């Protein structure tokens, strides 16, 4: 006789408990059952029952505490049994879509890198259908590099610039798309054979900073990304904040000048319209009398060589950026702000005079300002954030599937 299925409420609680245990094992890398019970507040009996199911499903595996400790003095008695994620259980792809290419990072369930591939885009902006085809090709090429088939992927996580409702897979607007209000998750699901998860790329950088970067150990911090545009990820009480419509944390589209410079979003006066790569290049080309700069690197080089017009472009960007940072501090009072994601130096946004301007604009209290760190990295770390998000979503699906399995 089959056992009765759990009630919806009981199933929900079991799912929550399984996911908590799974994430605790991931965070610890390897951990004993009794330590899981202590960390989660679940009873040892519950932990034992749930981990037994996960062992049967192949999500986790047992290892001896002495495994990998060659050279250390062996302890007497029975070795302590630890649990760890089974890397072979799932393979996940994390993607970063930028203006020129797509970076694809293929990882196992432990987050160990399997393959890395960069796919050049035909255009910086395209329709949802066209971008989905590019993503499909990029993933296929990466899987071929690793001798895998696309269907073997348990999840595909994609970071896009723009305003994105992650749970719905809906893109309100993105600088990578020629259309607005795109059911991009639905388009991707039609073209790809694996579950697809999309989110704002700055949110995924915040996840990467939390797991691998300068955000480790902080409960409340902000990540400001500076590339073609300006993005932000918010971590509050250890959790990523997205907003009710997935449009929260749009730091680049906060207004710094009424009726000001035209932003790529279509509005005027956005911070991004003064600080983003395209904004600096546009302003420099308007002001330059001689040879026009072709890249932001040209603008920075000209300023270093004493070009007053180029320096004025950078100075205005610094002033606008200082205004934006001081507003963030006044609103959130975070422990840390990470300036992240830049592929070129943005020293003009981190000079002493910029920080002095920030300090002058912050509400004065008898406490130090939040720490501000600069973390230069390329598309690989953005892709790592996407992969981490994919692992998180695949873990949630795995927890649900175990709960809802036939009994």
Q: Which two tokens stand for residue 42?
A: 């679940």
- Reading phi first (left if > 0) and then psi (alpha if -120 to 50, else beta), residue 162 is in left
Provide the pLDDT for residue 3: 47
Provide the pLDDT for residue 404: 59
Euclidean distance between CA atoms 61 and 45, whole angstroms: 18
Provide the pLDDT for residue 227: 79
Q: Is-contact 99 343, C-beta < 8 A?
A: no
pLDDT tens digits, 286-335: 776 567 777 788 888 888 888 888 888 888 998 999 999 999 999 999 99
pTM of the model: 0.81
- For the chain, the average pLDDT equals 86
pLDDT tens digits, 92-145: 999 999 888 999 999 999 889 999 999 999 999 999 999 999 999 999 999 999
pLDDT tens digits, 170-209: 999 999 999 999 999 999 999 998 999 999 988 998 988 8
pLDDT tens digits, 6-52: 555 666 788 899 999 998 998 888 999 999 999 999 999 999 999 99
Task: For the chain, give the longest Cα–Cα distance.
Answer: 85
Three-class DSSP category at 268: strand
Please choose, from the candidates 162, 178, 234, the residue with its C-alpha nearest in 3D space to the C-alpha of residue 205: 234
């Amino acid at each position: 006789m089959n056992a009765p299925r759990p009630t919806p409420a009981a199933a929900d609680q079991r799912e929550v408990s399984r996911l908590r245990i799974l994430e605790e094992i991931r965070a610890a890398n390897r951990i004993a059952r009794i330590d899981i019970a202590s960390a989660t507040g679940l009873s040892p009996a519950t932990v034992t029952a749930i981990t037994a199911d996960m062992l049967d499903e192949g999500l986790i595996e047992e290892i001896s505490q002495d495994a990998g400790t060659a050279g250390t003095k062996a302890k007497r008695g029975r070795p302590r049994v630890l649990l760890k994620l089974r890397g072979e259980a799932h393979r996940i792809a994390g993607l970063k879509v930028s203006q020129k290419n797509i970076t694809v990072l293929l990882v196992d369930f432990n987050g160990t890198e399997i393959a890395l591939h960069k796919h050049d885009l035909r255009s910086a902006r395209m329709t949802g259908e066209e971008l989905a085809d590019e993503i499909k090709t990029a993933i296929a090429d990466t899987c071929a590099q690793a001798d895998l088939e696309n269907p073997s992927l348990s999840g595909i996580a994609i970071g896009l610039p723009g305003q994105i409702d992650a749970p719905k897979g809906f893109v309100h607007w993105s600088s990578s798309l020629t259309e607005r209000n795109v059911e991009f998750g639905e388009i991707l699901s039609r073209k790809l054979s694996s579950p697809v998860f999309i989110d704002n790329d700055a949110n995924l950088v915040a996840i990467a900073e939390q797991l691998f970067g300068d955000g480790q150990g902080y409960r409340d911090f902000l990540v400001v990304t500076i590339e073609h545009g300006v993005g932000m990820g918010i971590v509050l009480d250890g959790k990523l904040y997205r907003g009710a419509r997935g449009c929260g944390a749009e730091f680049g589209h906060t207004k710094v000048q009424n009726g000001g410079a035209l932003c790529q979003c279509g509005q005027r006066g956005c911070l991004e319209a003064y600080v983003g790569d395209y904004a600096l290049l546009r302003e420099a080309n308007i002001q330059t009398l001689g040879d026009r700069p072709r890249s932001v690197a040209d603008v920075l080089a000209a300023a270093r060589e004493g070009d007053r017009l180029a320096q004025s472009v950078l100075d205005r960007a610094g002033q606008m950026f200082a205004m934006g940072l001081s507003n963030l501090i006044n609103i959130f009072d975070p422990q840390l702000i990470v300036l992240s994601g830049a592929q070129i130096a943005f020293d003009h946004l981190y000079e002493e005079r910029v920080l002095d301007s920030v300090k002058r604009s912050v509400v004065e209290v008898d406490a130090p300002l939040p720490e501000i760190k600069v973390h230069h990295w390329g598309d690989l770390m953005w892709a790592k954030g996407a992969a981490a998000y994919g692992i998180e979503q695949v873990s949630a699906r795995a927890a649900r599937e175990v709960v809802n399995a036939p009994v």
